Amino acid sequence: MKQDKPKIRYWDYLDDYSSHREEYLRICDEVFTSGRLVLGSHLAAFERKFAGFCHVPYAVGVASGTDAIFLALKALNIGSGDDVITVANTAVPTVAAIRATGANPVFVDVEEDSYLMDVAQLDRVITRRTRCILPVHLFGQMVDMVPLLEYAQRYSLSVVEDCAQACGATCNGYLAGSLGDIGAFSFYPTKVLGAFGDGGLVTTSRPELHEKLRKLRFYGMQSGYYAEEEGYNSRLDDVQAALLNRKLDRLGAAVEQRRQIAARYDKGLNGIGDIRLPAVRPHCGHQYYLYTIRTGRREELMAYLAGQNIDTKVNYPDPIHLMRGYGFLGYSPGSLPVTERLAGTILSLPLYPELPEEQVTEVIAAIRHFFS
């Protein structure tokens, strides 16, 4: 490996920060001198703008994406003895949030091409204990919500959309977070709309859920120090809200840049070796939180690219249903065959809006050389 070769980073925020440093610092100073750092006007402004962005009436800022799912389920009165259907090829927080309510996660397999929940298999797992379907809009693409919502209506089930990886994604003209009873978002720094720390938000079109979510995030209080119900401490700080509010203005441009990089990967990697490129579902707007390929030679390819100073990552190498920490759920190898097969072959390439064009070209050239 050439030591003078610049590292091609898998993800980075420093270029964005460098480009907008003065603006970000000005926003921080504005919040810090406002006299209100928590549940203030900057959070309220961001909630209004984000709700408008998603074409829903209400948004409630919370402390993290995990809390967003947890509070969404609590607002729907889901807890001990209830089943929540989701997928195992996701980040642990999805399942951790379900378990935090006392509910039981029930896994359904995914589609081979899109990596998304196989909605056609919901009939296999819906029982009298099922209370909610929790689709994960993975890697920047939305689950097929039309049949999913039909299942929900048929069986009188709630729907919570895990939008942590899909802010700005669309399907059939609808934005992620606008179709379920509640949408749950993460603003972890790596996300397409990322904060400078942790943060999350929930969206809803139902006024009674909006009111309940606002109370749940603040100890069950509506005003003063009087708890209307048992609640929690989960608030999106005003400084993060103010920064996110500004970054939301640039989200469209950021997503477009991601799509352009993905298109370059598509063109440059098409037909190479045993690589399978990401599939985009019909009528969907993929925002490419991740660009994830599949190959049976993943470990070799990762090692080769690392030797070329190119970072890659596997999202996620271990399906949750086979993790030791969730062994009590009773799943065994082979129970989710597509999920398990994908876990052994997926690989995410470098992709973020500021990724230089010449580095995209270098990644493509390195992969082509490996398979030559």
Determine the average pLDDT of the residues in 91-113. Answer: 97
Considering the entire predicted model, what is its pTM? 0.96
Quickly list DSSP for 321-348. GGSGGGGGG---TTSSHHHHHHHTTEEE
Determine the average pLDDT of the residues in 323-340. Answer: 97
Are the C-beta atoms of 108 and 339 separated by less than 8 Å? no
- The pLDDT of residue 87 is 98
Question: At which residue do the structure tokens 């003209």 appear?
Answer: 173
Are the C-beta atoms of 179 and 205 separated by less than 8 Å? no
Query: Which string of b and e fits 76-108 if b means at least 16 CB within 10 Å?
Result: bebeeebbbbbbbbbbebbbbbbbbbebbbbbb
Instruction: Please give the CATH number for the structural domain made up of 15-108+115-249.
Output: 3.40.640.10
- The pLDDT of residue 273 is 83
Are the C-beta atoms of 342 and 314 separated by less than 8 Å? no
Q: Is the pLDDT of residue 332 over 50?
A: yes
Q: Is the pLDDT of residue 36 over 80?
A: yes
For the chain, what are the domain ranges? 15-108+115-249, 251-371
Question: pLDDT band at 1, cuts 50/70/90?
Answer: very low
CATH topology of domain 251-371: Aspartate Aminotransferase, domain 1 (3.90.1150)
Choose among 298, 289, 312, 279: nearest CA to 343.
298
CA distances from 76 to 44, 119, 157, 178 (A): 23, 22, 10, 16
Determine the average pLDDT of the residues in 118-123. Answer: 96
- The pLDDT of residue 224 is 80
